[in-house]
Amino acid sequence: MYVATAIVGKSRVSFKTESKRIAEFVAKRFRVSAISGQDPQADLYVRIRGGYGEPFDDGPVQISVSEHLINFKRCDYHMISSRDYSSAEIHVYDEFALKHALINLYSSWLIHGERGLLIHSSCVVQDGKAWMFAGQSGAGKSTVAELSRPRPILSDEATFLYIEENGRVTVFDSPFRSEMENPCELEEAELFGIHYIIQSPEVERVSITPLDGFALMLDKVFYWRHDPEETRNMIALCKKVVQQVPSYQLYFQKNDTFWERIS
């Protein structure tokens, strides 16, 4: 049995699994602080089992809600969570399924507690400032992250935004990664700008209003709608972010010249 506690932003996540492959996945991607018995002070408790389902087929997540539990089911994973998302059992087919199930769980936990968001984007640090690059699948989020090296990469797929009590938006190192699997050398940085990226022959950065930024952000949030109150929380969190942090449309080529427009 593998039992470990990982630090994700300001939270502690306790993992338990009997699978060596799953244990290696957790150890590689998360900032594991302890390998011992279950952490009595953890914010989330997650038990993970393998041997479920079949490869992902682009099908939707099916959600059912009872008095005490929420079931999230996809062909490659089945997650049974408490209503506050603090405890979950996840059955998975492979590591791809596990990553998506954990994104689902952690995003739901953040939104439920009105703590923050996971955004479909990459995030890069330049001179101590975090800059987010969001877009639809294929827009070039991972490309932007790759082109930005050796700058610190806080995320290449799911950016973890945390809203502080004073309104500041902090980006924490995200364990929910695509290509760049290892944790970033930085643990956090303040978010200074949100870029909605568009591949273009010309390189240009155009400021947009908070309202336009809000409209563009809504479908970039990792969120599976199943409860009106949770949806209201998600919308309110998006509004807080765009009111605090400026938004831009960034037209870029597949090279690093876009940093000249940002810096």
> pLDDT class for 1, splitting at 50, 70, 90?
confident
Model pTM score: 0.92
For residue 220, give the amino acid letter.
Answer: K
Residue tagged 């924490």 (tokens): 172
Task: Select the more confidently predicted residue: 9 or 38.
Answer: 9
In this predicted model, what pLDDT tens digit does every residue of 89-135 receive, in sequence order?
Answer: 999 999 999 999 999 999 999 999 999 999 999 999 999 999 999 98
* Interatomic CA distance for residues 140 and 85, integer angstroms: 31
In this predicted model, what pLDDT tens digit does every residue of 240-256 receive, in sequence order?
Answer: 999 999 999 999 888 88
Q: How far apart are the first and last CA of the chain?
A: 48
**Per-chain mean pLDDT for the chain:** 92
Q: Domains of the chain, with CATH numbers?
A: 2-112 (no CATH), 117-261 (3.90.228.20)
Say whether pLDDT at 136 is over 90. no
In this predicted model, what pLDDT tens digit does every residue of 157-198 receive, in sequence order?
Answer: 999 999 999 999 999 999 998 877 677 888 899 999 999 998
> pLDDT class for 140, splitting at 50, 70, 90?
confident
Q: Phi then psi for 191, rounded to 5 degrees?
A: -80, 125
| pLDDT of the residue at 179 | 78
Q: What is the mean pLDDT of residues 35-41?
A: 71
- Nearest Cα neighbor of 85 from 65, 99, 61 is 65
Residue tagged 């062909």 (tokens): 75
| pLDDT of the residue at 255 | 84
